[in-house]
């Protein structure tokens, strides 16, 4: 076979909080995304205590997909999308997160949205939690620091999986569950387990909290898999990982060991999702560092029972590590004298993300070899400044980025034999950037007229990449 399978799932991806807006409509509660201010390129976003004047919160309106989705879905249909990946905004269903009864208006919104997609021949692929925990759970419980949040998540998962059991087949539990292990806790913003570090002083105190919260989140994920399978055995339920492969800078053996140690920070999560138990390298490291992680025998059983069917992952860039003294870099603690540095063999985006299409083929190979499960590339894309003066907007750099990645994906499938379910490029339509809160870090093939301060008509326009991707899908990836 030298072609992609006929039922390859070409699509597009977004997340509820980055597109919907309608932050306080129809019974929706505040989520952790609603208290994040706008930042900028190199300027971090802030988290405020509740919603406060005079701050600007870009997710409150986002691109108003909540009201405009019929128009957007018509464009997705024209593109030829077979699947559309989005998330359910948890606080639309459970405004506080710890209620017994769900918000019917929230459920109805997703019923209507999924119906509209299906009526247009587009299958929804749903993430249960994409950085969207109800704010109350983060404030009152400390997010997944608290094991009670496992139950609240399981109740939420059960509610939506029951309600949408005939409309959604592909589910993922937590978006990029592993990025909390990447020093994200140094930023003054939420981890995806709903934690904001305000009191822990040292790195190791923070790391111990992160591992406990991660274990709790992984138990919640396994519970959701078990619940989902009991509701509909046909469900395909996956995890969602951020795979940024890290290369050793040199052939110095210590560089190889440093890369292996950094990669273990990512594999820790997928090892548990797929193999159902805490890997030995983590147990040993916790012992050495003196972390006592609370994980009961009953919870271990849940991890074993709730393993995933596939691995969804994002791929944007690669990283490089070295122990060579003569090189400058950012020190890390994974291995003695190791530091992350810029890879001189690849270029970078305006936001400093290193562009490495071959890294996608490499990632597909190492992950498939490690687990043997189907893989789903549910995010890949190029955040760039667009020049809007031409019609259609000329975004050849985005086409180049996506084409190079699709080419490498095809090599992984056709030459290396990796099982890939589909490809959903990130930000199929312009959205609010997660990291910086900007609109101007654009990923879309559909332009949205809105700027970083919230001004703009919200009008949609096609970019050159729209016509290009339409052709890619129509030829099942032959013509890239």
Q: Does 214 bind ligand BG6 (CB under 6 A)?
A: no
> Binding residue for ligand BG6 (CB under 6 A) from 15, 113, 237, 258?
15
Dist. CA 417–CA 436, nearest whole Å: 37
Looking at the DSSP assignment, which residues form a beta bridge with residue 312?
240, 376
Stretch that binds ligand BG6, among 41-49, 164-172, 230-238, 431-439 (CB under 6 A): 431-439
User: Which CB, 89 or 155, lies closer to ligand BG6?
Assistant: 89
- Alpha carbon 77 to its chain centroid, in Å, reads 23
State the nearest-atom distance from the C-beta of 242 to ligand BG6, in Å: 6
Q: Does 314 bind ligand BG6 (CB under 6 A)?
A: yes
State the nearest-atom distance from the C-beta of 135 to ligand BG6, in Å: 18
Stretch that binds ligand BG6, among 2-10, 219-227, 291-299, 433-441 (CB under 6 A): 433-441
State the nearest-atom distance from the C-beta of 217 to ligand BG6, in Å: 15
State the nearest-atom distance from the C-beta of 59 to ligand BG6, in Å: 11
Instruction: With CB under 6 A as the rule, give the number of residues binding ligand BG6.
Output: 13
Q: Does 442 bind ligand BG6 (CB under 6 A)?
A: no
User: Which CB, 175 or 323, lies closer to ligand BG6?
Assistant: 175
Q: Does 434 bind ligand BG6 (CB under 6 A)?
A: yes
HEC-encoded secondary structure of the chain: CCCCCCCCEEEEECCHHHHCCCCCCCCCCCEHHHHECCCECCECCCECCCCCCCCCCCCCCCCCHHHHHHHHHHHHHHHCCCEEEEECCHHHHCCCCCCCCCCHHHHHHHHHHHHHHHHCCCEEEEEEECCCCEHHHHHHHCHHHCCHHHHHHHHHHHHHHHHCCCCCCEEEEECCHHHHHCCHHHCCCCCCCCCCCCCCCCHHHHHHHHHHHHHHHHHHHHHHHHHHHHHCCCCEEEEEEECCCEEECCCCHHHHHHHHHHHHHHHHHHHHHHHCCCCHHHHHHHHHHCCCCCCCHHHHHHHHHCCCCEEEEECCCCEEEECCCCCCCEECCCCCCCEEECCCCCEECCCCCEECHHHHHHHHHHHHHHHCCCEEEEECCCCECCCCCCCCECCHHHHHHHHHHHHHHHHHHHHCCCCEEEECCECCECCCCCCCCCCCCECCCEEECCCCCCCCCCCEEEEHHHHHHHHHHHCCCCCC
Q: Is 254 a catalytic residue?
A: no
Q: Does 421 bind ligand BG6 (CB under 6 A)?
A: no
Stretch that binds ligand BG6, among 34-42, 272-280, 297-305, 426-434 (CB under 6 A): 426-434
Q: Is 20 a catalytic residue?
A: no
Buried b (16+ CB within 10 A) or exposed e, 28-67: bbbbbbbbbbbbebeeebebeeeeeeeeebbbbbbbbbbe
Pair 255, 185: CB distance under 8 Å: no
User: Which CB, 18 or 323, lies closer to ligand BG6?
Assistant: 18
Active-site residue among 132, 217, 379, 438? 379
User: Which CB, 72 or 299, lies closer to ligand BG6?
Assistant: 72
State the nearest-atom distance from the C-beta of 40 to ligand BG6, in Å: 12
Q: Does 315 bind ligand BG6 (CB under 6 A)?
A: no
Q: Does 426 bind ligand BG6 (CB under 6 A)?
A: yes
Q: Does 122 bind ligand BG6 (CB under 6 A)?
A: no
> Binding residue for ligand BG6 (CB under 6 A) from 206, 441, 442, 460?
441
User: Which CB, 58 or 276, lies closer to ligand BG6?
Assistant: 58
Q: Does 138 bind ligand BG6 (CB under 6 A)?
A: no
Give the residue closest to ligand BG6 by C-beta: 435
State the nearest-atom distance from the C-beta of 261 to ligand BG6, in Å: 22
State the nearest-atom distance from the C-beta of 287 to ligand BG6, in Å: 31
State the nearest-atom distance from the C-beta of 314 to ligand BG6, in Å: 5
> Could you say which residues in the range 235-254 bind ligand BG6, by CB under 6 A?
242
Active-site residue among 20, 176, 207, 217? 176
Q: Does 379 bind ligand BG6 (CB under 6 A)?
A: yes
- The structure tokens listed for 252 are 């110095």
Q: Does 433 bind ligand BG6 (CB under 6 A)?
A: yes
Angstrom distances, CA of residue 301 to CA of 270, 292, 298: 17, 19, 5
Q: Does 176 bind ligand BG6 (CB under 6 A)?
A: yes
> Binding residue for ligand BG6 (CB under 6 A) from 106, 359, 383, 425?
383
> Binding residue for ligand BG6 (CB under 6 A) from 40, 80, 329, 435?
435
User: Which CB, 174 or 335, lies closer to ligand BG6?
Assistant: 174
Phi/psi of residue 355, each to 5°? -90, 115
- The structure tokens listed for 362 are 């490499």
State the nearest-atom distance from the C-beta of 179 to ligand BG6, in Å: 7
- Residues serving a catalytic function are 176, 379
Where do contacts with ligand BG6 occur on this chain (CB under 6 A)? Answer: 15, 175-176, 242, 314, 379, 383, 426, 433-436, 441
């Amino acid at each position: 076979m030298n072609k992609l399978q006929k039922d390859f799932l070409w699509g597009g991806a977004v997340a509820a909080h980055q597109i919907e807006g309608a932050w306080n409509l129809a019974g929706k509660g505040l989520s952790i995304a609603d208290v994040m201010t706008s930042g900028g390129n190199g300027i971090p976003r802030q988290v405020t205590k509740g919603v406060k004047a005079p701050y600007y919160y870009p997710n409150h309106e986002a691109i108003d997909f909540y009201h405009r989705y019929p128009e957007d879905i018509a464009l997705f249909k024209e593109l030829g999308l077979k699947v559309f990946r989005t998330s359910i905004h948890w606080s639309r269903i459970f405004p506080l997160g710890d209620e017994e009864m769900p918000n019917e208006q929230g459920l109805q919104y997703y019923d209507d949205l999924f119906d509209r997609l299906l009526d247009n021949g587009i299958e929804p692929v749903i993430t249960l939690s994409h950085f969207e925990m109800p704010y109350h759970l983060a404030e009152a419980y400390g997010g997944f620091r608290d094991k009670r949040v496992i139950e609240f998540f399981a109740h939420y998962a059960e509610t939506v999986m029951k309600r949408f059991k005939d409309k959604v087949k592909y589910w993922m539990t937590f978006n990029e569950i592993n990025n909390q292990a990447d020093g994200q806790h140094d930023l003054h913003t939420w981890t995806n387990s709903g934690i904001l570090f305000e009191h822990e002083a040292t790195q190791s105190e923070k790391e111990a909290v992160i591992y406990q919260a991660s274990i709790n989140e992984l138990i919640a994920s396994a519970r959701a898999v078990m619940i989902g399978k009991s509701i509909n055995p046909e469900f395909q339920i996956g995890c969602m990982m951020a795979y940024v492969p890290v290369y050793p800078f040199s052939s110095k053996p210590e560089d190889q060991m440093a890369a292996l140690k950094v990669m273990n920070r990512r594999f820790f999560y997928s090892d548990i999702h797929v193999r159902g138990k805490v890997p030995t390298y983590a147990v040993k490291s916790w012992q050495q560092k003196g972390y006592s992680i609370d994980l009961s025998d009953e919870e271990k059983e849940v991890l074993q029972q709730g393993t995933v069917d596939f691995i969804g992952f994002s791929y944007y860039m690669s990283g490089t590590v070295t122990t060579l003294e003569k090189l400058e870099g950012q020190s890390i603690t994974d291995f003695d004298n190791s530091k992350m540095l810029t890879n001189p063999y690849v270029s970078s985006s305006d936001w400093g993300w290193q562009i490495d299409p071959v890294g996608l083929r490499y990632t597909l190979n190492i992950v498939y070899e490690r687990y043997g499960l189907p893989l789903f590339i549910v995010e890949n894309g190029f955040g760039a400044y667009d020049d809007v003066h031409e019609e259609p907007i000329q975004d050849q750099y985005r086409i180049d980025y996506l084409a190079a990645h699709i080419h490498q994906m095809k090599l992984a499938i056709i030459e290396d034999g990796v099982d890939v379910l589909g490809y959903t490029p990130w930000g199929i339509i312009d959205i609010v950037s997660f990291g910086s809160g900007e609109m101007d870090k654009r990923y879309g093939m559909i332009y949205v007229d809105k700027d970083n301060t919230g001004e703009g008509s919200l009008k949609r326009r096609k970019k050159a990449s729209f016509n290009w991707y339409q052709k890619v899908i129509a030829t099942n990836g032959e013509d890239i």
